[in-house]
Structure 1
């Protein structure tokens, strides 16, 4: 029986290529990319004080662009290429045309699709790290931090957990779409970097209102909701109403984020009822750590984590990893990981139910081992990177820049109108000034700066 002409293999469509899988992978990658740009760019630019809107949004946009260049230059092959050591691949470029059209290390896809798909995950991880540093980090230091952290931290985690040759991957860790690689990593790294960078000004720490809550909601909406996320949002909202008397929009956004983070390691391998339970946990446990424990634990009070990424990503990511170890369905795992034995990828409760108790305990232990590895790795690598950058350039902005914000750092402001309709004109950026006319003597008259 012959295939329809459009399904026959040819040079542009080799026999191993699944067009449906390839199309969906590209679509899914684009959806994740939209979470970063414009999603988190808008969210960061609107959830901060007005004077930090441009800087916060631009930190996210810069990270997205810088990660892409580093990713195709060396990052992808270090994360998913030929084995160098147990937790890292051999650095190499990913731009050769022949390499791009060859079959990827997993699935019926070309390398070009997989490179793009994995890039958007790497990019959003760095943008999430930025959330802990908004409102005071030297932008030039951030420009150095992004490629260094991608190279010496993200690649190690990605190879160890997601690459088939990685040591945690071989042990059977379950991280469906980044609870460890993205969220736990960014939460720990962001908190660690915030420790080294130092806090915002006292005035900003005491009062840091969003400059546009409606835009904040628009940016958050791009972060794609589902059952766990919706349940988490509702749980956080109810706790805010019960204990603070008001339904907080910012709180609901935080609850939405913790739900998304919690379900990430489990998204394709747990039942729908488990997702609802995970949403209840992710809307309550991070709420408790943020609203109660944060005020009682000295280290948490000391470190100025602007967007609370420790709670929303590190705590919620760890929670998701543990709950995945409890609720992972063996059949769904075998469909996703393509394994045929019970010793890998079986949730603890299913292990008890089916008589594979040892395998269930083992899976839970592997999930906990992954948490310990990611936490220790990111504390170490992030600290070393920050200390090295500090030898070259200050990590924190100067005091006058901290007082002024966007105009002092970029010579630009987010809003053109000030006060009663007065138009904003910067004296720190040449694009806002016309070139002054020459004087009668041929000399240029310089505007006096106030």
Structure 2
């Protein structure tokens, strides 16, 4: 859960002062709503045997997640038999939360709070849960094809990245985008958030081993190496192109490295992790600058540039570097490319449909006056202190 204050601070530091509290409020509300939906249906649809496309209703409302002390009975998941299923369900909840929360960065400063809630609920149930089932449930159709995704390169980052890009197109650019400077509120908050994300990521990647063993330890090590390489790689790219490094670039680069190592963390050794981080840093720098200009989208905090591109890089390089000595499986770049493409295309169209439905229900964008005033006042009647 450390990644949640991490992403709240990371994003809040980059938006303008007048929408800092709204950005944080979105993170808290989304976390709470996703938690309830995960309890109601999301976990069951994602992580129970059903068809290759969706799980069953077996664990809706956490039915069957029992613990009976006197009988010594505790339910376990067929996916993670070494821990109680309640622990596994809560661990997977953190992935469900962070995935949709990442999308916030694409629509900051202009989306109605009510629309954020509708989008969060529909997206969690009809985008995240099915994709998680395809990739992480052993009977899922992409898992059956041999797709490798240890901790969320496609399920989390490609999924969130392309959804963020669709959101940016649907809502349109912030008023004044490209014509006036958008000064970030406090990059010190962004740096603090990046630090929390860095630590929290060890839980995602090492925790995905669902055991305290050598594979978990190696996953933690390669995660740190890739994050460090991503930060240095982005910094050097920015230094060459712009003539100077920046704190924001370093923070963005380390997140890019974390994103790219996510699918590979349980399958690679330290050497390939270094390569993955270096490639991710420069690729995501291009994604957040050159590609962003080509796409002409106000993806405000570079959700697609960092998470979409980083997720794609990580998924493909997992196919190149996955080591049989680490995990007992070898990667296929063809299967990895197919898996990444399927998730990207499904998420693109499903997100567009969900945004259209949300627009019909409550509208998507705040009015011009609210945007000029700032969403802290317009949506919450709250003001950031001095």
Q: Residues of 2 paired with 1:104 and 1:86: CA distance?
A: 17
Contact 2:65 2:85 (8 Å CA) reproduced: no
How many residue pairs end up in the alignment? 353
The C-alpha deviation readout for 1:325-373, integer Å capped at 9, x for no partner, is 0000012122xxxxxxxxxx313xxxxxxxxxxxxxxx21110110111
User: By how many angstroms is 1:193 displaced?
Assistant: 1.7
Q: Distance in 1 between matches of 2:177 and 2:166?
A: 22
Return closer, same or farther for 1:193/1:379 CA change in 2, 3 Å cut-off: same
CA distance in 1, matches of 2:174, 2:148: 37
Please say if 1:163 is aligned against 2:141: no
Residues 389-408 of structure 1: matches in 2 within 5 Å? 389-405=358-374, 406-408=376-378
Q: Find the partner of 1:365 among 334, 351, 370.
A: 334
Alpha-carbon shift at residue 186 of structure 1 (Å): 0.2
Q: Does residue 34 in structure 1 map to residue 2 in structure 2?
A: yes
Describe the superposition over 1:209-257 as per-residue Cα deviations: whole angstroms up to 9, x where unpaired. Answer: 2211112111110112610010110111112222212221111111111
Deviations 1:16-71 (A, max 9, x none): xxxxxxxxxxxxxxxxx1111x1111122222110010011111111111110000
Q: Which has the larger radius of gyration?
A: 1
Which of 107, 111, 134 is residue 137 of structure 1 equivalent to? 111
SS in 2 for 1:384: helix
Secondary structure of the 1:265 match is coil
- Which residue in the other structure is 1:317 paired with? 311
Aligned partners of 2:287 and 2:362: how far apart in 1? 34
Relative to the length of structure 1, the TM-score reads 0.76
Shift of 1:288: 2.1
Within 1, Cα distance between the matches of 2:155 and 2:110? 26
Q: CA deviation at 1:382?
A: 0.4
Which residue of structure 2 aligns with residue 444 of structure 1?
Answer: none
Native 8 Å contact 2:154 2:343 kept in 1 = yes
Instruction: State the match for 2:287 in structure 1.
Output: 289
SS at match of 1:268: coil
- What's 2:330 paired with? 346
Superposition pairs of residues 102-251 of structure 1, within 5 angstroms:
102-107=75-80, 108-202=82-176, 206-224=180-198, 226-251=224-249
Residues 198, 255 of structure 2: 8 Å contact kept: no
| 1:414 counterpart = 2:384 | yes
Structure 1 equivalent of residue 203 of structure 2: none
The structure whose RCO (Cα within 8 Å, separation 6+) is larger is 2
TM-score, normalised relative to structure 2:
0.88
In the other structure, the counterpart of 2:56 is 90
Partner of 1:304: 298
Deviations 1:401-430 (A, max 9, x none): 100111111100122x3xxxxxxxxxxxxx
Residue segments in structure 1 that go unaligned for 5+ positions in a row: 1-32, 335-344, 348-362, 418-450
Asked if the contact 2:79/2:137 (under 8 Å) is kept, the reply is: no
Is it true that 1:78 corresponds to 2:45 in the alignment? Answer: yes
Structure-2 residue corresponding to 1:328: 322
Structure 1: distance between partners of 2:65 and 2:290:
55
Task: Tell me what 1:356 maps to.
Answer: none
1:370-405 Cα offsets, whole Å, 9 max, x none, are: 011101111111011011111111101111110011
8 Å CA contact 2:49–2:137 kept in 1: the answer is: no
Show the counterpart of 1:385. Answer: 354
Q: Which runs of 5+ in 2 are unaligned?
A: 68-73, 200-223
Residue aligned with 2:151, SS: coil
Distance (whole Å) between structure 1 residues aligned to residue 287 and residue 65 of structure 2: 50
Q: Contact (CA 8 Å) 2:154, 2:311: kept in 1 or not? A: yes
The answer as to whether partners of 2:226 and 2:273 remain within 8 angstroms in 1 is yes
Distance 1:392 1:223 in 2: 34
Q: Distance in 2 between matches of 1:279 and 1:319?
A: 10
Structure 1 counterpart of 2:10: 43
Distance (Å, rounded) in 2 between the aligned partners of 1:243 and 1:66: 42
Pair 134,204 (structure 1): closer, same or farther in 2 beyond 3 Å? farther
- SS in structure 1 opposite 2:262? helix
Aligned mates of 1:373, 1:203 — CA distance in 2: 32
